Amino acid sequence: MKAKIEGLLNKEYKKLNDPIIQSHFLNYTCVLISGYLEKEIQNILDIYKKTAHFNSHDCKDELKSMRKIQNAKWCSVRPTLTNIDNKVILKLSKLKDFSLVTSSINNIVNTRHKIAHGENVTNLTIDILKQDFKNINRFLKKLKSIFTSL
């Protein structure tokens, strides 16, 4: 899915002459990024559930019964990560511009929510999507690295 999103973000969408089609293109891309974020976090957690650290950890029962990641806003993901190990959040917070990273996560998820509920989304641009996607990828790369070292 990452390659598909990168392809969309690199398209010259301005060549789409109709502003309505441009808007739909941006909305579609935002929804894909949000889905990608949710899937990748879930994949990282699913891989973690197969490790010795998971099998010997207090959070085992809670994580086993946890629903799939949905609406992966930072305020929803953070408690899960904290339950696994406080060091996860500590290490994530060392990412350069960490507050921008969490803002990007929240921006994408909140915008996707607005799109899904038919609300007006007027602040969405290709540049914002590119920056948010870049920050989300930095977050996912770091998260994967942290979980690999547990």
Taking only the tens of pLDDT, the chain with its 150 residues reads: 999 999 999 988 778 889 899 999 999 999 999 999 999 999 999 999 999 988 887 878 777 777 778 789 999 999 989 888 889 999 999 999 999 999 999 999 999 999 999 998 988 999 999 999 999 999 999 999 999 998
Residue 144 confidence (pLDDT): 98
Total of domains in the chain: 1
Residue 4 confidence (pLDDT): 96
- 120, 20 in Cβ contact below 8 A? no
Does residue 131 lie within any of the structural domains? yes
Does residue 13 lie within any of the structural domains? no
Does residue 139 lie within any of the structural domains? yes
The residue segments making up the domain with residue 82 are: 19-148
Does residue 1 lie within any of the structural domains? no
Does residue 93 lie within any of the structural domains? yes
Task: Kindly give the interhelix angle for 98-116 and 74-84, rounded to the nearest 10 degrees.
Answer: 130
Does residue 53 lie within any of the structural domains? yes
Instruction: Find the angle CA(131)-CA(134)-CA(12) to the nearest 5 degrees.
Output: 60
Does residue 12 lie within any of the structural domains? no
Q: CA of 53: how far to CAs of 60, 67, 85, 115, 148, in Å?
A: 9, 20, 10, 39, 10
Does residue 11 lie within any of the structural domains? no
Q: Is the pTM of this model over 0.85?
A: yes
